[in-house]
């Protein structure tokens, strides 16, 4: 459930703020800003198929560790993105994120159902589903607050306190438009930093689950 909370927050934050980066910083159209998310569902499907093939070959907790490592790699790639980075790097990062999420999402249900008695599986699955939904609300609220605080602080430093100007061509002078791009870039970069930290935490949690699982198996073997 903790892993579900963390990775759910990562996905919703990147889904919300990556189009802002594409439109507000790179100057892409709304269509292009939406298209930048296209690799995620495609690679998510591929990751789900790969996850199904890994079940039985690897332990479920090991698959979770693999998936969170891939998600952490994707978040690190987005953390490195700057206004001068090639656009294809963003597509690759989003695709890698979708691949990692596709690997770990099906495993959540397997781990949860095997961790509780049959009489409590319905409650356990419902709790995980609620956690997944709540993670989107919590991620949007937390990262949204951070984004607002950073952009407002940066706007005051640059003397650009009116952030309601239009981004259309000719809507604002070139100098002010450059400041707006810088303000948005600083805010979104903080979001990328936060998602990278959340990804590292999710990887640490998955490693802890693997260690705990191995200790339980060892204890059972000793008792026998």
Taking the model in full, what pTM does it have? 0.83
Angle at 200 between CA 20 and CA 12, to 5 degrees: 30
- Enumerate residue ranges in the chain where pLDDT < 70: 158-177, 210-224
DSSP code, position 159 = T
Tens of pLDDT, residue by residue over 184-206, are: 888 888 999 999 999 999 999 98
The token duo for 173 is 């002078």
CATH number at 2-223: 1.20.1250.20
């Amino acid at each position: 459930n903790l892993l579900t909370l963390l990775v759910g927050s990562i996905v919703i934050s990147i889904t919300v703020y990556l189009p802002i980066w594409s439109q507000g910083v790179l100057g892409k159209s709304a269509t292009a800003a939406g298209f930048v998310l296209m690799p995620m569902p495609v690679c998510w499907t591929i990751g789900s198929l790969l996850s199904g093939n890994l079940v039985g070959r690897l332990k479920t907790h090991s698959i979770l560790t693999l998936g969170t490592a891939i998600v952490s790699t994707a978040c690190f790639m987005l953390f490195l993105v700057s206004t001068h980075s090639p656009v294809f790097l963003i597509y690759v990062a989003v695709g890698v994120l979708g691949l990692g999420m596709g690997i770990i999402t099906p495993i959540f249900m397997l781990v949860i159902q095997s961790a509780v008695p049959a009489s409590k599986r319905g409650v356990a699955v419902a709790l995980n589903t609620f956690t997944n939904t709540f993670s989107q609300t919590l991620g949007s609220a937390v990262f949204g607050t951070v984004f607002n605080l950073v952009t407002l602080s940066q706007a005051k430093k640059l003397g650009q306190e009116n952030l309601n100007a239009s981004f259309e061509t000719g809507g604002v002078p070139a100098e002010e438009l450059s400041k707006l791009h810088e303000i948005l870039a600083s805010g979104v970069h903080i979001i990328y930093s936060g998602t990278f930290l959340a990804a590292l935490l999710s990887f640490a949690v998955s490693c802890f689950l693997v260690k705990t699982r191995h200790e339980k198996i060892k204890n059972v073997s000793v008792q026998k």
